[in-house]
Amino acid sequence: METVFKMEETKIENEEKNATKVSLDTIPGFPEFSINETIVLNRVKSMIQDVYELYGYVPFDTRLVELDEVLNQKGIDSKELFSLNWLSKGVEYEPGEARRKLALRFDLTVPMARYIAQNKNYISFPVKRYQIQKVYRAEGHKVAQGRFNEFYQCDIDVVGFNTLDISYDSEFPAIVYTIFKKVFCVDRFVMRISNRKLLEGLFRENGLEKVEVIKRAIKIIDDIEKVEKETTLARLDEIGINIESAEKLLVLFKEIYARTPSEAIEFIKLCDFQDKQLLEGINELESVVKGIIANGVSEEYFKVDARIARGLDYYTGTVYETNLLDHMEIGSVCSGGRYNDLVSTLSGNPRDKYPGVGLSIGLTRLVPTLINAGYLNADSQTIADVLVTCQDKKYISHYQSIATRLRSSGIKTDVYLNKNVKLPKQLDYANKKKYKYVIIANKYEFDEGEVVVRNMETSEQEKMKIGDLVNYFTVEQMNS
């Protein structure tokens, strides 16, 4: 018999040695959140959704996969797309160009534009939409700076037909202000706004005429905070703006940014500019600044910054970027702007105009930073407010009945169903998970139709009738 046991042990050992080990390593660029962080992330998404809906935005849910030719309409480098290259006829092999070229969505704006182009005859314009979903980028990740390949974006956009009043552009900073103040509990942030017509006009005023050269200049300014001043000057000189003119341009940027938004507009209007589009951009920017103030945003929370370029080609007017003043290292956490041609490009009829304006908040970068900095509390591992403990397994149906009573009134309630764990360990579990309240009862309480409610934060407890529980917790929720 002993020999048989030894043979079995040897067989098991050999099977374990031969078993293929599966790697459980993390994949850089594809973040996963702890339970605590996920609870915060979901709460933040819900609160942002409430703010968006407060301003009349409706939900969108577009597909995860797009044709890469659709995504390329935004001026995205195909190397930054997560290509799928599915076969066009199921499992049948199709060589070369016959493959159906698909990619995961790079952002939420182009899928929205594609959807509107497809359904333009069924949509009432202007359409105000929000979307909170994941996007995928094959660009290099920098986890330390919060840059990932997979991340959540929270988008809002307004798209019109033929016209879209500039006043819509001023609504977005008010929404961002509300979210950063009431959802993120942050006070030190700045929204930087500008207009692409202003920046492009400044380049023309300095002798640049060709569209491709102006695009290169925009890219140089878009990188201005990432490189040394001498590098920026040299790059501008290389494309046709001499060092002296480039120096004056950088000084102008500083002069504008140093002023309050209202003062910055007056300063720009006094400059002797001649470019028609530049002057148009100034007028639009003035309207936006006045609208932002009218929407209740103090001038201490936003700045006119002519350096804001937004590197993507499709922006045509107002542009936004938002930074946390105490965490500038993570870059812009909320950006966007106006685009006049994106939907038209996809609709197949360039004569139809679908001007739009929108912005996006990058949650995957922002939420962990706010948790680590103490703005958002992530110490809880439960979303339930109440834990019903189980002291006596004979009364398990009573404990479940109490939970049902509370849940029916919208009170999030959990029940500790491991009947063999003593009460002190159940209370320890409640402490670790951060339940706000614990309900305790045994035979003697049930005989009186009562339970004990323990406040886990204060350690205070009181006995009450089971019939009074709903009213008690409803009042507590209203006061919390």
Place of tokens 């006009």: 201
How many CB atoms within 10 Å of residue 348? 9
Q: Are 190 and 322 in contact (CB under 8 A)?
A: yes
**pLDDT at residue number 92:** 53
Intervals of CATH 3.40.50.800 along the chain: 386-479
The reported pLDDT for the residue numbered 20 is: 66
Q: If you compute the radius of gyration of the chain from its CA atoms, what whole number of angstroms results?
A: 29
Give me the amino acid identity at 95.
Answer: P
- Measured at the alpha carbon of residue 446, what is the angle toward residues 442 and 447, in degrees to the nearest 5? 115
Calculate the CA 461 to chain-centre distance: 41
The 8-class DSSP code of residue 136 comes to E
Spatial distance between the Cα atoms of 152 and 365, rounded to a whole number of angstroms: 9
| Contacts for 24 with CB less than 8 Å, ≥ 6 apart | none
How confident is the model at residue 419, as a pLDDT?
80
Q: Tell me how far apart the alpha carbons of residues 69 and 66 are, in angstroms, rounded to a whole number.
A: 8
Query: Which stretch of DSSP H or E encloses residue 440?
Result: strand 437-440
Mean pLDDT by 10 residues, the chain (480 residues): 54 60 83 93 96 96 88 66 67 56 88 91 95 88 70 95 94 96 95 93 91 88 86 91 92 95 96 93 96 96 90 80 89 89 78 90 90 93 96 93 96 93 95 96 94 95 95 77
- The distance of Cα 478 from the centroid of its chain, to the nearest Å, equals 29
Give me the count of residues in the chain.
Answer: 480
DSSP annotation of 225: T
Q: What pLDDT does residue 427 have?
A: 96
Look at residue 104 and give its three-state secondary structure. Answer: strand
Nearest to 304 by CA among 237, 256, 266: 256
pTM score, two decimals?
0.86
How many whole angstroms separate alpha carbon 428 and alpha carbon 433? 9
The correct answer on CATH 3.40.50.800 for the domain covering 386-479 is yes
Residue given tokens 């037909």 in the structure block: 161
With contact defined as beta carbons under 8 Å apart, do 180 and 166 qualify?
Answer: no
Among the four given CATH numbers 3.40.30.10, 3.50.50.60, 3.30.930.10, 2.60.40.10, the one describing domain 35-62+106-372: 3.30.930.10
Give whole-number Cα distances, 406 to 43, 328, 464, 472, 475, in Å: 21, 45, 14, 10, 13
Residues 6+ apart with CB under 8 A from 291: 166, 167, 169, 170, 171
The CATH 3.30.930.10 domain(s) of the chain lie at 35-62+106-372
CB atoms within 10 A of CB 465: 11
Report the C-alpha gap between 477 and 469 in whole angstroms. Answer: 12
